[in-house]
Amino acid sequence: EEGKLYFVRDPFGVKPLYYAKNGEKFAFASEARVLRVLGFGASLDERSLRQFLTLRYVPSPDTLWDGIKRLPPGHVLAYEIGSGEMRLSPYLKFDVDRFDGDIREAADAYRGVLADAVKRQLLSDVPVGILLSGGIDSALVAAMAKDAGAEPPCFTVGFGRYHPECELAEAEETARVLGLSFHPIRVGADELWEALEKVVAAVEEPLGTTSVLPMWYLVQRARQGVTVVLTGQGSDEPWGGYFRYQAPLLGRFAPWPGVWKGLGRFFSSWQGMPEALERGLRMLRERDPASRIVEACALFPAKDRIALLGDADDGGAKEAVSRWLALVAREKGLDEAERMMRVDARMNLADDLLLYGDKISMAFSLEARVPMLDLEVVRFVESLPRAFRVQLWRGKVVHKFMAQRYLPARIVHRKKKGFRVPFAEWSRGIWRKKVEDRLFSEGIHLRLLNKQALWRIWQEHLQQKPDRSRQVFTLLMLAVWWEQQFGGGNSESM
């Protein structure tokens, strides 16, 4: 349309797009640093800081820079050149035709759509590899690539087999079973700490996910052999692979928030209570649907935000969830777990996991492709009955059922480790002084956070009363980011 510019982001936010407007000045870029050079985002958006501490990332369209926005996935931004007016709207339909076959028919159909997606994403005139973890998702992508006639090399990063987080042994077994070449990348604590500044500069935004550090070395090594990689990212959300999707299923047995409040008080003295359980109990004591999703994900609950920032305001995290829930609600008949999964597949994925995956891979000119988020694949998965995806104590039901046609059961049903580093151990040991120096350097606590509250969190982490690993890592990333963006540090140190 004449006189208008249209900006469109892909359905699940595999690629980011930033934009900013100040008076008659309008700019857009795939990297926020470009907009900052043009004079946008000169200060912190303190409201978005509250969202970051609540969710460990800032949901689109907001960012931590005042005046810089990130286009949400599945949305189009219309900019009128003459008037400068902007209109943001979703372009995707969220309703799908429900699948009405049995579980075997579902597995057959899923096999077809995923195989087609893998074949499409293998198409390339440059070498293609696989970023292989120890889990089922990347293993299934690798198996289907092999079945399609490809022989992609597999790349895996680890920290030594004496660390329970290391997946080298599991990934090596998968590659051996499939007959694919295996390229392990071993990194130690010193190397990962050395990557911290580079990772924050490349990603541009602080993210409370420890996997950003090994991802740096994984991508760097993979780029030496290939130009394109396929990953297994993006299946946990539509398939119900996270523990938080169990909470609404458990809640059906006692749909009274008071029961869960009582359980929360009962367990409050348990200093070793797993964080996921704590979040689940907080979720179930809420009535409002958006508040329940926020609590299921909240890294710093209200009491911590009060201590760190002076009040419990989440900065709009609940509003962001509510916007997505309103879009998801256009599809009738979804239960609470399904709504959570749909929101996560469009908010959490885009603004956290996919964001760092794209930024780090692009730092090495490596193209990362995600077959699990092929539009036809997700449409099919979301057409399945919820029980075909997640049940009480079981996730990825049809996904795993189908995977057994390609992989041994011992690989399909391995215990999930997750892609993370031994931060809890290292931050109490060989990284302790480095982390403490970063957290309590001049700047972050004086300008953003209450120093006494920060010190209390740090001491609780050191004593494991309770374990504060994820919170401390998020605060560490925030401190590094703050120094790079506003404290005179080098945000171009890649």
Do 205 and 169 have their domain in common? yes
Asked if residue 437 belongs to a domain, the reply is: yes
Do 223 and 367 have their domain in common? yes
Cα 460–Cα 209–Cα 451 angle in degrees, nearest 5 = 40
Do residues 297 and 36 touch, judged by C-beta distance below 8 A? no
Do 393 and 322 have their domain in common? no
Do 221 and 252 have their domain in common? no
Do 250 and 312 have their domain in common? yes
Do 33 and 119 have their domain in common? no
**Residue finishing a domain among 90, 122, 152:** 90
Report pLDDT for 266: 62
Do 193 and 215 have their domain in common? yes
Asked if residue 337 belongs to a domain, the reply is: no
Asked if residue 418 belongs to a domain, the reply is: no
**Residue finishing a domain among 90, 118, 150:** 90
Do 217 and 350 have their domain in common? yes
| Total domains present in the chain | 4
**Residue finishing a domain among 298, 332, 366:** 332
Do 269 and 163 have their domain in common? no
What parts of the chain have a pLDDT lower than 50?
Answer: 493-494
Asked if residue 417 belongs to a domain, the reply is: no
Do 230 and 248 have their domain in common? no
Domain housing 451: 423-486
Bond from prior residue into 127 cis (ω within 30 degrees of 0) = no
Asked if residue 277 belongs to a domain, the reply is: yes
Asked if residue 295 belongs to a domain, the reply is: yes
Query: What is the C-alpha to C-alpha distance for residues 468 and 352, in angstroms, rounded to an integer?
Result: 20
Asked if residue 494 belongs to a domain, the reply is: no
Q: Both tokens of residue 267?
A: 């367990």
Sorted by sequence, the CB contacts under 8 Å of residue 221 that are 6+ apart come out as 155, 157, 183, 185
Asked if residue 95 belongs to a domain, the reply is: no
Query: What is the C-alpha to C-alpha distance for residues 109 and 106, in angstroms, rounded to an integer?
Result: 5
Question: Three-state SS string across the chain, please?
Answer: CCCEEEEECCCCCCCCCEEEEECCEEEEECCHHHHHHCCCCCCECHHHHHHHHHHCCCCCCCCCECCEEECCCCEEEEEECCCCCEEEEECCCCCCCCCCCCHHHHHHHHHHHHHHHHHHHHCCCCCEEEECCCCHHHHHHHHHHHHCCCCCCEEEEECCCCCCCCCHHHHHHHHHHHCCCEEEEECCHHHHHHHHHHHHHHHCCCCCCCCHHHHHHHHHHHHCCCCEEECCCCCHHHHCCCHHHHHHHHHCCCCCHHHHHHHHHHHCCCCCCCHHHHHHHHHHCCCCHHHHHHHHHCCCCHHHHHHHHCCCCCCCHHHHHHHHHHHHCCCCCCCHHHHHHHHHHHCHHHHHHHHHHHHHHHHCCCEEECHHHCHHHHHHHHHCCHHHCEECCEECHHHHHHHCCCCCHHHHCCCCCCCCCCHHHHHHCCCHHHHHHHHCCCCHHHHCCCHHHHHHHHHHHHHCCCCCHHHHHHHHHHHHHHHHHHCCCCCCCC
Do residues 118 and 143 touch, judged by C-beta distance below 8 A? no
Cα 123–Cα 12–Cα 140 angle in degrees, nearest 5 = 50
Do 434 and 398 have their domain in common? no
Domain with residue 120: its CATH number is 3.40.50.620
Report pLDDT for 494: 37
Sorted by sequence, the CB contacts under 8 Å of residue 174 that are 6+ apart come out as 132, 134, 139, 142, 154, 407, 411
* Residue 255, Cβ density class (10 Å: 0-12 exposed, 13-18 middle, ≥19 buried): exposed
pTM for this prediction:
0.94
Do 234 and 383 have their domain in common? yes
Sheet holding 18-22, edge to edge: 25-29, 18-22, 68-70
Domain with residue 39: its CATH number is 3.60.20.10
